[in-house]
A and B are shown apart, each in its own frame.
Chain A
Amino acid sequence: MRLYFVLTIASLKMYFRNRQAIFWALFFPMLIMLIFGLLNFDQFSPPDVGFIDNAKNEASTRFRDVIDDGDDPLLDLKIEDDEEFLRDELRSGDVDAILIIPEGFGEPDNVSTVRAIFDSRKPQEQGITETVTRDVLDSLFLDIANVPDEFRVESRFEIAPAFIEGEGEGFRGFLVPGIAAMAIMQAGIFGVVFSLIRFKTGGVLRRLQATPIGPSHFLVGQMTTRLIVTLLQTYVLLVVGMLALRVTIGDSSIINWIDISIMALFGGALFTVLGLAISGWAKTEDVAAPVANIVTLPMMFLSGIFFPIEVFPDWLGNISQFFPLTYLADGFREITVDGASIVTLGPELLGLGIWTAIAFAVATRVFRWE
């Protein structure tokens, strides 16, 4: 026990004296998070708009079809009947705006007032929604009325905007937990792979083998260090996300933070063991570096860190939902965005657990001390 403690302290000392490791584990992901968070990538996809059709006539169907044009929609319509439900969605940030089509929409001698509700914190989405609606209404009117330009009556349609203040965090709320997950993966795999291969090729592990206790105790100390670093990364990145990007962590209760810590430890253990497996298999850094990249790069882009898995084609999404990083990022997000409790995150924990078991089996099979 004392030995374990001594080796862990030594390991921690070594880790925190290595400025490069600290940079890659903490400052680099923080930088990425701030850059992407401040750029606000929400604008690159069409706004999500809740849509209530009270007319259900030819005109309103046409209106819908023009906006929701198959592969390349102008707005992402979410068709609903319940205005209260949509208002909740708008408040929580799941939709960016609401459009309500009145009864008798587009009928002759009837001024149709389309009501719109916007999130006052999303002026960009408001602008896009308004412009698109106006343009489509104009062209629709021409189409329906089939009248020449000079006879157009501008007032046939009106848009009545209203505002509520949303609490949704949009892309930032999505990004921050994802970056924390990515940082754990990168530090786990690269940190372990490079230090272990150096220890292996340099003869550090062999020298430990000449002592009565052998190198396995040392590895346990290293693992403990990695888990401590994992927790530190998670806390630092989430706190920076809270302060700099105004992201909330669930209800910010101590329970949320405990749940996050548990999720982080599951992820940290998985990626450390995965790093062990890679460094056990690879004999030199030249072999290990590409392998580590082949493992991490696809996950970085396909596990829903920078953009949601839903934007991928179905076949790809069906594969990437089983990636280790997807489980960790989703788990974090459930807690930070929805305030979910760890007890409801069984699927994510199970996914991480199964991957850990696989990585452990590989690691014990391929690992050599020299």
Chain B
Amino acid sequence: MTETSRNLASAATGGPIIAVDGLTKRYGDLVAVDGVSFTVRPGEVFGMLGPNGAGKTTTVEILEGMRRADSGSAFVGGIDVHRDPQKVKSIIGVQLQSTAFFDYLSVAETIKLYGELYGEKVDVDAILEEVELTDRRKAYFNHLSGGQKQRMSIAVALVNKPQVLFLDEPTTALDPQARRHMWELIQRIQSTGTTIMLTTHYMEEAEELCDRVAIMDRGKIVQLDSPDRLIEQLISTGFTATREVKLATLEDVFINLTGRSLREG
């Protein structure tokens, strides 16, 4: 969320890095994405919030060139996703919701191999250090812990130095320590000028990481603004929380008691 890096990236490219207009996707009778429009600015962390089945993942997968929309347009980095999905894929990094890599290839070998798929010679050591997997470089994917698997998945998403990084529920099923680690990693990646679009259903995650969030429900975006502005808007309608706001949360208690260091291996 560093203001300077965002402005730098923004100044370099000008307009929005993601532009979506009237995007619609149906599965039979179900309208999974219903005329969604939004833009993402270069260098920001853009969050997609919403309950399960709201259409977050479908929207993101259309932007990733993995699914075709029925109607509407989507541009990523100025490239039409419908017309040239392969070209979009080459400038983005993708972390899928549930994913796996090859058995019997080590972490380092897998990262190198994925680099080859993009025609990139990857500095495996640098990427491993970035995602804190240096000491697991020889491990097979299946032997990694949940948090390590997620970081591996992000490492692979970084091999082509992407302009936009898509993260689909990057901290689901992680313990509080691993989640905080993931947040720090995401913030470090943003500080290098990479635009990040993430989906989550953890509100504190969105508050911590996102410059702006879109709240989706039943295939439509119902609100889009910065987390602070959305909260202010709600309060201005006369809303009061049912519970008194405390100065710390139960999670703070948990972290305070168990420490911030990762428990894995």
Nearest CB in chain B to that of A204: its residue: B100
A345 to B98, CA, bound (A): 49
Residue of B nearest to A369 (CB): B66
* B contact patch SS: loop
A57 interface residue per 8 A CB criterion = no
A212 touches B100 (CB 8 A): no
Chain A 112-132 per-residue mask, 1 if CB under 8 angstroms from chain B, else 0: 000000000000000000000
The reply to whether A10 and B113 form a contact with Cβ atoms under 8 Å apart is yes
On chain A, the residues within 8 Å of B100 by CB distance are: 199, 202-204, 207
Range of interface residues on A (Cβ < 8 Å) = 20 to 34
The verdict on A210 contacting B96 (CB below 8 Å), with A3-B116, A6-B113 known, is yes
Central interface residue in A13, A18, A207, by most chain B CB within 10 Å: A207
**Chain A positions 1-25 with a Cβ under 8 Å from a chain B Cβ:** 2-3, 6-7, 10, 13-15, 17-18
The reply on B102 being an interface residue by CB < 8 A is yes
Give A209 to B85 CA distance when docked, in angstroms: 11
A198 to B100, CA, bound (A): 10
Tell whether A311 is near chain B: CB-to-CB under 8 Å: no
**Which of A6, A7, A198, A206 has a CB less than 8 Å from the CB of B99?**
A206
Chain B residue nearest to A3 (CB atoms) is B116
Chain A's closest residue to B101 (CB) is A204
Q: In the bound complex, do residue B105 and residue A14 qualify as a contact, i.e. CB atoms below 8 Å apart?
A: yes
Residues 89-106 of B contacting A (Cβ, < 8 Å): 89-90, 94, 96, 98-105
A-B contact count (CB 8 A): 65
Mark A167-201 against chain B: 1 for CB-CB distance below 8 A, else 0.
00000000000000000000000000000001100
Whether a CB of chain A sits under 8 angstroms from the CB of B145 is no
Closest chain-B Cβ to A194's Cβ sits at a distance in Å of 11
Given contacts A203-B98, A210-B89, A212-B86, contact A10 B114 (CB under 8 A): no
Q: Is B202 an interface residue (CB 8 A)?
A: no
Are A210 and B94 closer than 8 Å at their CB atoms?
A: yes
Tell me if A211 counts as interface (CB < 8 A to partner B). yes
Nearest residue, chain A, Cβ from B140: A17
Whether B231 is near chain A, meaning CB under 8 Å from some CB there, is no
Q: What would be 7 A-B contacts, judged by CB atoms less than 8 Å apart?
A: A2-B116, A13-B109, A14-B104, A199-B102, A204-B101, A206-B96, A212-B89
Which residues on B are within 8 Å of A, measured CB to CB?
A: 64-66, 86-87, 89-90, 94, 96, 98-105, 109, 113-114, 116-119, 156
The 10 closest A-B pairs by CB, nearest first: A202-B100, A17-B104, A14-B104, A210-B94, A212-B90, A212-B89, A203-B99, A211-B117, A6-B116, A212-B86
